[in-house]
Amino acid sequence: MSDRVLRAVSQSGALRTQIGSDIFSRFVETFEQSKPLIAQTLRELSSRFEGLPPVPLNETLLEALEQAVRASQKGLDGSSAELRDRLSDFIERVANRQTTESVVSRVESLRGQLREAQATYYQDDTSILSDYEFDRTMDLLEAEEEYFESIRRPDSPTQEVGGSRSALFDPVEHAERMLSLDNVFSIDELTEWAAKTSAAAGRTPAWLCELKIDGLAISLRYELGRLTSAATRGDGRTGEDVTVNALRVAGIPEHLSGTDHPTLVEVRGEVFIPTRGFAELNELQAQLQERAVAAARERWESRPEATRGPFDEQREAASAARRFPAFANPRNAASGGLRQQLDKKSGLEREAGDARVATLQLYVHGIGAWPRPPVAAQSEIYDLLAGWGLPVSPHSKVCTSIEEVAAFVAHHGEHRHDVEHEIDGVVVKVDELTLHDELGATSRAPRWAIAYKYPPEEVHTRLLDVAVGVGRTGRATPYGVMEPVLVAGSVVRQATLHNQDVVRAKGVLIGDTVVLRKAGDVIPEILGPVVELRDGTETEFVMPSHCPECGTTLRAMKEGDIDLRCPNAQSCPAQVRGRVEHIGSRGALDIEALGEVTAAALTQPRVPAVPPLITEARLFDLTLDELVPIEVVVRDAETGEPRTDDDGEPVARKPFQKIRLDYPPEAEGMTAQERRKAGYRKDHPVVEPSAQAETLIDELEAAKTKELWRQLVSLNIRHVGPVAARALADWFGSLQAIEAASEEELAQVEGVGPTIAAAVTEWLAVDWHQQILDQWRAAGVRFATPDHPGPGAAQQDGVLTGLTVVVTGSMEHFTRDGAKDAIIAAGGKAAGSVSKKTDFVVVGPGAGSKETKARDLGLSILDEAGFERLLDGGPDAVADLVGGESDS
């Protein structure tokens, strides 16, 4: 636990500021020296309170450590004594159960932070928390839920996998769910994970180590050796169908080599662009820019001199740069390359798209669905896959000890840029396949694998300004504007600073040279200033008192809130823009034509002066006539600031109109010969609705009858994401029934709870929210699930109502997720672990420790045939099979 504490504390800008950078550095050294003492202290104190689990990593413990740090100025002994006293006080309070109310409040706060961070990341493509802040918050929440088991809920962020798919691609259901990986950030954490895994396995396994490729995850489905689909991860259950492009990727065969292929096997891998290929791809982009300018010059030269002005080289070059920009990093180029729609491209764009696909490569690194692989180890799976003609990474190694694993990690950390592709860490897996099922998985990640993440790259750059943007929730977010700098493979110009307290805590001044880190190699983060380089010209940032978008006075919306928000939720242009964009997002109504630019066009256009949408109430009343004249300045998704071109000018678009060249009105009725004689040409611009305008109107019409849960998410009710919305929709069946329910009735729905129930009730009580509902209903939005029988229907009795069923081992006719879905459909609860409360345990080959525990507890055990009977007829149908013995 020491490393987790150290990482959490070390990310505290407030702590760094309070004690000074030099003392902070001394603390880190002191902490490293104190690890044995801290561990011993915790053991001694815990032993004083019989039956208490280990001390959780929460804010109280961090507070104790902060106090210890301040005492570290006195030396190691003083620090240790202070630490011992604070920890002792904490454990005594836990022992006396005096923290229950504060724990519930703290956990709900953590969940809210994580839900909001996940929503902005997956639905709005922005990040309000850095990777480190997100990981630290998740660590705190996991520790609290582990310690206080009664407050753990299935809809907690610790139990879910984030992600979604695009509406541009057909959905593909994975036969076996694609999970994420948990992360560790130090050798000590890796060693701790290995020790826990070995203990759970009952032996020390062999460890398969492989490089964590920075690319795009893909699942290849082969049936009897023939590729039937290739799909992205998506949300883990449903991905995007990219089969057409995948067949063009080097190393992905349409037919496997060899013989004896299984009926079905899912092969998992990573699509990437090699670093050399990435450089060549950017060289091609530069060449295409030159060719685009040359083509524009040829078109200009082909026009009669009398009808053409001077050739604008600068304008054409800027246009070409937008068409064929340099790619920032190989991962984004690979993701976009695999997910592009080549059949919709032509000319130079098609050439660029083809070249992008041609640079893609694949390494396979695992399997999904494959009921009975004929080998015993993951590394042997790789040998099989290679024999079938699939490309396997040459950089994997089986290690027999954690020391050997650590050496592998260290070696590739030092030679990180020496391999053919970008990496951001090392994946360590248990090699023995039977242990995979025994160890199982959480709702988000397997327990038999872990990702060791290398430290992100850090650079210095100059902080030119601190500006403030406003998002859809009204949060006023300061962000740093910096001199452009290359870090972790991409050029960074801006980085969020979250709120005024963070700016103050980090101690940065406008004009400072700052340390910039690409946290998790993705999100840029300002760590702090290089104080030694200050020259006295730096100035302090002052948080504005008024919203930069609408002028309303900023304030904290609730007592104790750190963030300042604009309370003008109804008509603040930035908030309306954000909400409209959210309505079109994948997690809401999934309207492909309603993205960032469209939302800005509808709410903050340059033309006309009065925007079509003052609030989202008129969204479903929009017409083509309103859309066509709109001109909009493109804005940054996170900050709301206008984007600029290479010359610093705002980038403007007219997204809803297209220009068709035709003969001028004077030529109407003339014959071709008369037009030629009069000198009329097809050079008269005619403005028409663009395909995007027509698509938007069509998709808005289709969205009116989408699922109720999507309609609920689109209302922008705080805390109501897809999970809570599904729960409300399944239980009540209509918005009318939700409106009629009391807050207590809402809170009783599984997956909702008091926080979400209060948010729903508060939202419905606002008059302008009711205006939105009235206008949407009048426009034909269906806030109901057809044929839903009414409140409570989601928990109608099934043959397994009230029963808990655990499925372990492989099944011939069910994937793991398929078995869970079948249990839930029958009214039961699909559990992941065996306990005295388990009613039935279904076992298949490789069941392992779960079957052993079930027999030790004397539980009812079924094989797959018995499971099918249970699903059909309930407990009575298997009465002759149970009693603790399987009939297999």
Three state DSSP letters for 65-109? HHHHHHHHHHCHHHHHHHHHHHHHHHHHHHHCCCCHHHHHHHHHH
Does 483 carry a binding-site annotation?
Answer: no
- Element at 659 (helix H, strand E): strand 657-662
* 572 annotated as a binding-site residue: yes
Is there a contact between 500 and 564 (Cβ–Cβ < 8 Å)? yes
Residue 147 marked as a ligand binder: no
| ∠ Cα 174 176 182 (to 5°) | 105
**Is 668 known as a binding-site position?**
no
Confirm or deny that 122 is annotated as ligand binding. no
Is 180 annotated in some ligand binding site? yes
- Centre a 10 Å sphere on the Cβ of residue 404 and count the other Cβ atoms it contains: 15
Cα separation of 126 and 585, whole Å?
12
The CB-side HSE value for 570 (13 A sphere, CA atoms) comes to: 7
Is 181 marked as binding a ligand?
yes
In terms of Cβ atoms closer than 10 Å to its own Cβ (0-12, 13-18, 19+), residue 262 is: middle
- Say how many Å lie between the first and final Cα of the chain, rounded: 44
CA distance to 54, 63, 264, 511, 623, per residue, from 35 (Å): 16, 17, 49, 39, 66
* Beta pairing, strands 397-399 & 207-213: antiparallel
Q: Determine how β-strand 684-689 pairs with β-strand 657-662.
A: antiparallel
572 contacts 604 by C-beta, under 8 angstroms: no
Question: Rounded to an integer, what distance in angstroms lies between the CA atom of residue 411 and that of residue 96?
Answer: 48
774 annotated as belonging to a binding site for a ligand: no
Q: What is the dihedral of CA 13, 19, 22, 23, to 10 degrees?
A: -120
Phi, psi of 2 (to 5 degrees): -55, -40
Q: Does the annotation flag 135 for ligand binding?
A: yes
| 131 is annotated as contributing to ligand binding | yes
Nearest alpha-carbon partner for 218 in 390, 395, 450: 390
Nearest C-alpha neighbor of 334 from the set 304, 307, 359: 359
Other Cβ atoms closer than 10 A to 848: 20
- Using CA atoms, how far apart are residues 365 and 268, in angstroms rounded to an integer? 6
* Secondary structure string (H, E, C) spanning 143-157: HHHHHCHHHCCCCCH
Enumerate the β-bridge partners of residue 524. Answer: 518
CA dihedral for 874, 876, 881, 883, sign (positive or negative) = positive
Residue 425 backbone class (left: φ over 0; alpha: ψ -120 to 50; beta: rest): left
The residue whose two tokens read 């962000």 is: 479
Tell whether residue 278 is among the known ligand binding residues.
no
- The catalytic site residues sit at 212
CA distance 579 to 422: 36
Closest C-alpha among 623, 793, 616, 600 to residue 708: 793
Distance CA 372, CA 809 (A): 10
Whether 453 has a binding-site annotation, put simply, is yes
**Is 132 annotated in some ligand binding site?**
yes
Residue set of the binding site for NAD(+): 131-135, 180-181, 210, 233, 270, 429, 453
Residue set of the binding site: 131-135, 180-181, 210, 233, 270, 429, 453, 547, 550, 566, 572
Residue set of the binding site for Zn(2+): 547, 550, 566, 572
